[in-house]
Amino acid sequence: MKDWSRATLTDTAAAIASGATSSRDVVEASLDRINRLDPLLHCFIEVDVAGARASADVADRHRRAGGKLGPLHGVPLAHKDMYYRPDRVSSCGSKLRSDWKGPVTATALDRLDRAGAIEIGRLVMVEFAMGPHGYNQNYPRCGNPWNADHIPCGSSSGSGVAVGGRMVHGSLGSDTGGSVRCPAAVSGVVGLLPTYGRVSRRGAMPMSFSLDCVGPIARTARDCARLLGVIAGHDPEDASSLDVPVPDYVAALDSEAPLPRIGIARGYFDVGIHPDVQKAIDAAVADLRRAGFSHEDIAVPADLLYEVSELHPLVMKAEGAANHLDTMRTRESDYTFEVGHRLHSGFFVPAADYIRALKLRGFYLRELVKTVFSKVDLLLTPILSIPVPSIDETSGKKGKDYLDMVVALTRNTKVVNYFGVPAISVPCGFTSNRMPVAFQLIGRPLAEVALLRAVHRYQEITDWHLKEPTIVSQAPARANV
């Protein structure tokens, strides 16, 4: 008897495919864990119990009939509530869309469906994906699975918590300034930001079209590779989609090619780093060396990074304001106070400023590649330089204090979105208060294979990704026969 909710996505998919277990048993294990933990962690907006069971039964019949099985056949997933299906609500975390249904099925969901995945429910997110701490006044407060008094980070808060809490095997988030990587980091799981345009955004709620990326959250690099392989690829319905071949990310994990060279970022990313975080990062670097990676310190172009960190919000806020102009004029009272306030400044950004910020992106990307990726393949940084803050430490802030809090949570991730390059968040230890620490690996455009290979190799010799929050072991799901 095995509790499948605690197994990786890859192992679970293999067990379903071989008949070692059934999709129905796996779905029941997920539902059981959701029943036990979601009243404590509040990461689901809706659980589709009947739909998930029916889909699982169809999947099991299909397997028994000898049908062709996709790479996610019968595996329960749940996603940030901003991926559209015409036959159900996509709230985007807002009262404004509490009964709204999207016009199309999101391409990413369509590809997951075709791969056999079962969508078990809709996950909590920050309203309109605009906030880094992860809670949303429209819902009961989503709690970090390692300590519910600490933030789950956002905006894909439910995605990080549902995977970290072993309620589902994987999840889609979206990342405009760190919203996949940060929730993954603070929940102790892996989050992947693909290259801009690598994954279609058709049918996904736009926040800032120049920066938004769809990315997976899962427990291991191998799980993320499997999910990315399903959702990546050109989509003629998305104007930003890259028309380049999709590698076999899973097969590449076991490649005999030389390991990527890793640069340890010196400057910008390590400013103000907390001693507990530094200790975990140093240990991760030692483990990477033990795993066979060569590494060197890389002085990053800090002046450029500071400039980019200031340009990112200019682009994000101008584009966000453009999306929300009509509803902000007519229904601002239906926005949460915080998100309404976050949107205000974008309405007063001059068009010339915004366009100049976009004109510079190519320049900054070329400079990053010239100064960093001409010397190493991947750049290692912390995700958060500080221990995961408590809810009290992040709530009730206004004005400059609020902006400073946003910067503290996003400074190491948002610059990556402006460059459009891929990055991955990897659990690598704990601070003294038993909250997760994660490092980030950043690559040049389309370097997802190198990122996933590096993390897979790291996870072969470490066990941080196997650590479970106490809340999981204290509330075990019923074992499935």
Question: Catalytic site residues?
Answer: 80, 155, 179
Q: What single string gives the DSSP state of each residue in 112-134?
A: HHHTT-EEEEEE---GGG--SS-
CA angle (157 as vertex; 8, 459 as ends), nearest 5: 35
Q: What single string gives the DSSP state of each residue in 183-205?
A: HHHHHTSEEEEPPTTSB--TTB-
Q: Is 396 in the site for other proteins (CB under 8 A)?
A: no
Query: Which segment (3-11, 41-49, 172-180, 194-202) binds other proteins by CB under 8 A?
Result: 194-202
Find residue 215's DSSP bridge partners. Answer: 173
The residue among 214 and 311 lying less far from other proteins, judged by its C-beta, is 311
The residue among 115 and 214 lying less far from other proteins, judged by its C-beta, is 214
**Tokens for 73?**
């056949």
| Interface size with other proteins, residues (CB under 8 A) | 49
Q: What single string gives the DSSP state of each residue in 204-216?
A: B--S-TTT-EEEE
Closest by CA to 402, choosing from 413, 393, 411, is 393
**Tokens for 182?**
């940060």
Contact present, 7 and 473 (Cβ < 8 Å): no
Q: Which amino acid is at 30?
A: S
Q: Is 403 in the site for other proteins (CB under 8 A)?
A: yes
Among 135, 139, 196, 293, binds other proteins (CB under 8 A): 196
Shortest distance, position 221 Cβ to other proteins, whole Å: 17
Q: Is 209 in the site for other proteins (CB under 8 A)?
A: no
Among 257, 396, 463, 481, binds other proteins (CB under 8 A): 257
Helical spans, DSSP H, in 221-263: 221-231, 249-252
**Contacting other proteins within 331-350 (CB under 8 A):** 332, 341, 344-345, 347-349
Shortest distance, position 166 Cβ to other proteins, whole Å: 33
**Contacting other proteins within 407-436 (CB under 8 A):** 420
Q: Is 65 in the site for other proteins (CB under 8 A)?
A: no
User: How do beta strands 118-123 and 170-175 pair?
Assistant: unpaired
Shortest distance, position 398 Cβ to other proteins, whole Å: 8
Shortest distance, position 196 Cβ to other proteins, whole Å: 7
Query: Which segment (142-150, 179-187, 309-317, 427-435) binds other proteins by CB under 8 A?
Result: 309-317
Q: Using CA atoms, how far apart are residues 16 and 95, in angstroms rounded to an integer?
A: 38
Q: Is 68 in the site for other proteins (CB under 8 A)?
A: no
User: How do beta strands 170-175 and 213-218 pair?
Assistant: antiparallel
Q: Using CA atoms, how far apart are residues 372 and 427, in angstroms rounded to an integer?
A: 23
Q: Is 91 in the site for other proteins (CB under 8 A)?
A: no
Among 107, 195, 413, 459, binds other proteins (CB under 8 A): 195
Taking the CA atoms of residue 361, residue 362, residue 364 and residue 367 in that order, the dihedral angle to the nearest 10 degrees is 170
Among 307, 334, 393, 468, binds other proteins (CB under 8 A): 307
Among 69, 89, 302, 369, binds other proteins (CB under 8 A): 369
Residues interacting with other proteins, by CB under 8 A?
195-197, 242, 244, 247, 257, 307, 310-311, 313-314, 317, 325, 328-329, 332, 341, 344-345, 347-349, 353, 355-363, 365-366, 369, 373, 398-400, 403, 420, 443-447, 449-450
